[in-house]
Chain A
Amino acid sequence: MKYIILFFLVAFSIDLFAQQKQFSKDDNGKFIYYKVVDSQSLSKDTLLQRAKSFVNVAYKKSMKAESITDTSILAKGTMVIDKTILVAGHPSGEISYSFVFEVRNGKYRFWLTDLLYIPYQRDRYGNFVASTTIGIPLEQNPGKLNAGAWKDIVNSTYNKIDKFADDFKKYLATNRVEKAKKKTETISTKKW
C-alpha cells in the first residue's frame, strides 16, 4: 500500500515539476528563454560557425538571420504549435520569435524573446493556415474566457522552445564534417 502512495506522490511531484517549467521575464517584462552553455572544448570561431550553419542550413525554412558579427547572431524565426488529441493532433498556431546568440571562448549564450502568437484556423481545403498577420504577445493577459486555452498555448510554446534549445545545443556540440565523412557500416554476409 505504501508503495502505491509513494508512487502517486512521486508521480504528482513529477507533474508539479512539469508544470513549474515556465518562461522568465526580461527587463522589459517580456517572456524570455535564456541559456548559458559552457563549451570549453570548442573555440569561439567553431561555435560561431556551427551557430551560423544552424540558422542558415538546419533551420533555413523557419529562421532568417538578421545580423551576424564575429561574436553574435541575431535571427528571426517561427515555430508551429500543435494541439494534441491523444496521439494525433493538428497545428493550432505559430510563434514568431527573436533569437540572439553570443559567443566567447569556452562558452556561449542564447535567448529567444519577442514571442508573438498567431492562431491558425482551418481553411476551406482542410489545411490549417494563419488566421491573421498580427501576432498576440505571449505575455498578454488573455482574459477569463480564454485563460485555459492560453495557458495551454504558453506551455506548448515553452516545450517547443525547450526542444529547439536542445537541438541547438546538440548541433553546436556536433562536428558535422566528421559526421558526414563517416560512411554507413557495410555488413558482408559472405563470411561469418
Chain B
Amino acid sequence: MKKLLTAIFAMASTTCALAQETTSSPLEISGSVDTYFKYDFAKKPTNITTSFASDHNSVSLGMIDIALKKKTGKASFVGELSFGPRGQSQSIPDAAAGGSSFHIQNLYVNYDFTDQFSMTAGYMGTFIGYEVISPVGNFNYSTSYLFTNGPFQNAGIKATYKFSDKVSLMAGVFNDWNVYSATRGVSSVGGQLMVAPVEGWTAYLNVLSGAGAGGYGTIEDLTTSYQITKEFKLGLNAANYDIDNDGGGYAGAALYPQYAVADGVILGLRGEYFKFKDVGSVQGTKYTAVTLTANIKSGGLTFIPEVRLDHSGDKPFFNKSGAAAPNAGQFSLAAVYAF
C-alpha cells in the first residue's frame, strides 16, 4: 500500500513538474468502489444468470476500479484496472486464471491527428451495447441479457473521424472478443456511426463482424438515449447476433425510461426481451425481464435499490424447492461511490 501511494505521489509530482514545461494536462485519477446485498426470492444465488451481483443473502463486494488518464499535446493514454469479484472472476477475461487477479478495463493510447481525426490502439471497453462493466456507467445495478451475452471489451486499432458535433464515424480491426491477445488473429472488423439529430438525442449504430463468442459471426447493434426533458430520459438498446453456419446467436431489445422525481433521486425501469437463436432443432430460450431501479445520489455516493422480475416459458429458473420455474425475482441494494 505504502509503495502504491509513493508511486502515485511520485507520478503526480512528476506531472506537476512537467506541466510547467509542456502543454500537457494533469494526470487524471478517477474510479469507483461498489458493494451490494442481493436476495433471490427462491434463495438460489444464480437463478438469474446475467452478469455480476451473483451472491444471495450476503453483503458482497463488487470491485474497486482505478483509472489513470494523461494527455500530452495530441497524445493520450488511459489505463484502468479493477479488483474484486465484479472486476476479476466475473469479468472476462480474468488476467490470472483462477479468479485471483485483476481485470484490465481499458489500456490504450490515442493520438489526435487533427481536431476531427484520431486513432486509438489497445484494449478498450466495447463499443457495442448500452450497459458496461463499471457500475458507475449503468443506471441499473443488475445487468441485461444483452450485456451479458455481448462483448465486454475489444482489443484492436480504430480510427474515428468527427464530421461535426452531430456525426462521427469509427472503423477498426479487432481481436476476438474479451481477450488481451488474439487467439484467432486480428479477426474482426467493426464500425460505429454516431448521429445526434437533435440536442439531447444521441444514437450509435454499431456493427462487429468476426471471431466472437461461439464462433465467427456478426452483431448489429443500436444504442441510443434521448434526454427529452430535464426530468425524463429514454434509452434503447436493440441487437442481433448471428453466428455463422447456423451456430446460434441472439436477438433482443431493452428499453430504459428514467424519471427524476426529486433532486438527486431518479426512478428507472428496464424492460427487456431477449432470445437465444435456435441451433438446428434446439429451440433457443426466450426471456422477458422487468427491473425497477432507483438512484439516490449524495455527492459521489449512489444508493441503488432494485427489484427485478424475469420470466421465461422455457422454465430455466428454479423455485424454492429446486423445481424448474418460469419466473425468478430478486431484490438488491447497492452502494456505488465514484471518485
Residues of A within 8 A of B (CB): 83, 85-91, 121-128, 132-134, 141-143, 145-146, 148-149
Contact = CB atoms under 8 A, between A and B. Distances in A.
Interface residues of B, number: 43
Contacts of A121: 136-137
B298 interface: yes
A30 to B, nearest CB: 17
B155 interface: no
Contacts of B199: 133
Nearest to B131: A124
Nearest to A142: B263
Given A85-B339, A124-B125, A133-B199, A142 B264 contact: yes
Contacts, number: 90
A153 to B, nearest CB: 10
Interface stretch (B11-19, B54-62, B209-217): B11-19
A123 B108 CA distance: 14
B263 A145 contact: yes
Contacts of A91: 28
Nearest to B133: A124
Contacts of B292: none
A87 B200 CA distance: 34
Given A122-B134, A127-B78, A87 B263 contact: no
A126 B69 contact: yes
Contacts of A142: 263-264
Nearest to A148: B299
Contacts of A89: 26, 28-29
26 contacts: A86-B9, A86-B12, A87-B15, A87-B16, A88-B15, A90-B29, A90-B69, A121-B136, A123-B137, A124-B125, A124-B126, A124-B132, A125-B108, A125-B124, A126-B30, A126-B105, A127-B78, A133-B200, A134-B227, A141-B263, A143-B264, A145-B263, A145-B265, A145-B298, A146-B263, A146-B297
B297 A145 contact: yes
B27 interface: yes
A122 B264 contact: no
A134 B67 contact: no
B175 interface: no
Contacts of A149: 298-300
Contact of B262 (A88, A134, A143): A143
A127 B263 contact: no
A149 B227 CA distance: 23
A45 B297 CA distance: 50
Contacts of A132: 200, 227, 233
Contacts of B28: 88-91, 128
Interface in B99-140: 105-106, 108, 124-127, 132, 134, 136-137
B67 A122 contact: yes
B297 A126 contact: no
A120 B73 CA distance: 22
B80 interface: yes
Nearest to A91: B28
Interface in B46-86: 67, 69, 78, 80
B230 interface: yes
Contact of A85 (B29, B136, B229): B29
B12 to A, nearest CB: 5
Nearest to A86: B12
B92 interface: no
